[in-house]
């Protein structure tokens, strides 16, 4: 993930008539994440990545029986990419098979390896996740 990219906020709004405003906003930024080094099972996910957010809405001030009322209606969309997540992967570097040989893929798949540990690794998949 390149942290040198600039972030921005761009907004447009327009008064339709007195007391009623429509608006559209887009923002980019980064969602921070952290690595939790405490052992846990399963390890916590710590997402971090670039995020683009889009929002449109309307705000209206009016009165009902002499009482001021504000009504808001909006919709938003968030688009995440370059997400980093903490995952736990098996480490067979020092593992041996039950017969004493080095652990290989076939022995690991057959659950015939001893001393297998799990290590937390931060991955950055190249995919987008969109949330509404």
pLDDT tier at 73 (50, 70, 90 boundaries)? very high
Q: What pLDDT, in 10s, does the model give residues 36-50?
A: 555 555 544 445 667
φ, ψ dihedrals at 2, nearest 5°? -90, 115
Which of 29, 76, 75, 25 has its CA nearest to residue 52? 29
- Domain positions in the chain are 8-131
- pLDDT of residue 24 exceeding 50: yes
Confidence of residue 6 (pLDDT cuts 50, 70, 90): confident
């Amino acid at each position: 993930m390149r942290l040198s990219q600039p972030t921005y906020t761009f907004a447009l709004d327009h008064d339709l008539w007195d007391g009623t405003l429509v608006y559209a906003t887009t923002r980019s930024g980064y969602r921070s994440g952290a690595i939790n080094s405490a052992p846990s099972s399963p390890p916590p996910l710590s997402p971090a990545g670039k995020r683009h957010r889009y929002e449109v809405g309307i705000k209206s001030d009016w009165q009902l029986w002499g009482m001021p009322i504000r009504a808001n209606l909006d919709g938003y969309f968030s688009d995440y990419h370059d997400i980093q997540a903490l995952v736990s992967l098996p480490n067979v570097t020092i593992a041996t098979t039950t017969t004493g040989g080095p652990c290989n893929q076939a022995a690991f798949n057959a659950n015939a390896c001893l001393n297998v540990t799990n290590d937390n690794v931060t991955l950055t998949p190249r995919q987008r996740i969109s949330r509404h």
